[in-house]
Structure 1
């Protein structure tokens, strides 16, 4: 491993949407906390695209070479491949920063978390979100008050979203894809992080199109002591992607809208954004840069705020229970 004074060597496996976003987070601003040590994707077209946009990125021949060149391996490949790459990185003494879900098989995910310890984390950017920090501050100051209740709503004009068309093969497959795994999981993590353990789930999903992912989900559960209602739909909106996470109590209500905008309900009953709220297009690279700072701390064995493997597994347990139409008590 390199000395703490050196920039952390980050290897990237997967050059799809998330791989490119992470590259932008590293290369798009000065003073990045990491440097890209190596990148590999099995697709020649993806490698050619990266080479054209970022000619300085070291493209390598396989995943093993990425691991060898890195202090931490960022796994941004499709879900079915996550655990194979993560295990290889840990076996080589590297840390792992993985996209969600950890695996497509819950038993394998549980076994991985049990053996991995603190050498890994999962990329739930709400862990580093400025909007979420504002929500947490409002909640701590008593903006919601007693008897809180949470409503999570997600809606899409179509699935996959237009900008995900290149990955539709797995994003719209019931084994790996669907909006519950891709989007709802983030709001489950947010609920877990701000309110407490997820339990007492009752949920169901509807799969009206054979061979494709879900088109609707409904669930109720508890986040800590807070009752939660979740509703997700494909169709019924003209928006590419619309979501709200709304916590309401006797003193008032706060919400996160469209991924990034923290809002508080006023005396007139309307929600107004925080004065410093910014849309997701501007907020996302800031959150990812903060995530990378957490990756450095995690790799060095220091305290960090990234989503732990245990938190990610808890989220995945709830997601898969919803999709299976099961109940998860506890």
Structure 2
């Protein structure tokens, strides 16, 4: 689809849950955004009601196909089982695709999809927002300046009061179940992507996952990995905090330590303990900056320009580790 270099690109959204709404708001609320919402489809009546409240001027489309027809780039924010069919329909129509993770609920389907997309030179990327995080940029700058020295170890810890988190309860039908949901796919994958980006290829050495029974998603995990040869200890659990969500990515080396705390706060360890970066922000205030960065990169991808969104291959490598942990 031809577009001028200056005109905002048209973003189609299939799946109007939390993530679909967040990206729509980010595109709509920025007057100079390089990409604008042009169509939304979700089969849920509740989603249609929420859309009318969020953007009364944007009516719910009649089908996913109608959204694909009228967009330059399709954002796939549906549950995982629908990701690849929607992505392939959009790519087949000549559109770019921005996917939520995981690529699919079936690992072999993800591998086959990535192989086909790479062979075709598809314009496609995956929504790991840390690719546009100022806090991650700060971590990278500290690493480059020698704040850690030679990295020696990494620890990743995530904890939840309950799963799904309180603001995700509307999606508990799939998020709470073993087939497509769970915090390892939904949350830990972000930190594995960060680890892969900053330290190198991931290799799982051992893992244990605990499930409460039936088809419920995992309640705890523990794993040891290597990332670019650096030892990584990963732990996660439900019911281990009174907060919705808490997490820390802590890298230690010969010269010091740095960490990312609660998604958005970059910190460096000093003689008096941990000190945040001067421009550190809580996640609620950081998120709009991150989404803006993601949208700018989505526009670049759609135009065939260089950008550093998470690639399909990176997302596949993360998914392979996640599924191996859950199968342990």
- 4+ runs deviating over 4 angstroms: none
Rounded to whole Å, the distance in 1 between the matches of 2:40 and 2:150 is 49
Pick one of 232, 235, 248 that aligns with 1:231: 235
Q: State TM-score, norm by structure 2.
A: 0.97
Deviation larger for 154-163 or 53-62? 53-62
Asked whether the equivalents of residues 201 and 318 of structure 1 are also in contact (C-alpha less than 8 Å), the reply is no
Q: State TM-score, norm by structure 1.
A: 0.96
Pick one of 205, 210, 217 that aligns with 2:209: 205
Pick one of 114, 121, 128 that aligns with 1:124: 128
Rounded to whole Å, the distance in 2 between the matches of 1:303 and 1:132 is 19
The runs of 5 or more residues in structure 2 that have no matched partner are none
The equivalent of 1:26 in structure 2 is 27
Asked whether the equivalents of residues 160 and 172 of structure 1 are also in contact (C-alpha less than 8 Å), the reply is yes
Paired residues, number = 324
The equivalent of 2:48 in structure 1 is 47
The equivalent of 1:151 in structure 2 is 155
The equivalent of 1:162 in structure 2 is 166
The equivalent of 1:328 in structure 2 is none
Asked whether the equivalents of residues 179 and 215 of structure 2 are also in contact (C-alpha less than 8 Å), the reply is no
Task: Report Cα offsets for 1:176-226 as digits up to 9, x if no partner.
Answer: 000000000000000001111111431121002322100000001111121
Aligned Cα root-mean-square deviation (Å): 1.0
The runs of 5 or more residues in structure 1 that have no matched partner are 326-330
Asked whether the equivalents of residues 98 and 121 of structure 1 are also in contact (C-alpha less than 8 Å), the reply is yes
Is the partner of 2:60 in helix, strand or coil? coil
Is the partner of 2:85 in helix, strand or coil? helix
Pick one of 281, 303, 312 that aligns with 1:309: 312
Is the partner of 2:39 in helix, strand or coil? strand
Asked whether the equivalents of residues 204 and 223 of structure 2 are also in contact (C-alpha less than 8 Å), the reply is no
1:1-330 pair list within 5 angstroms: 1=1, 2-117=3-118, 118-268=122-272, 270-325=273-328
Residue 147 of structure 1: how far off its partner (Å) = 4.2
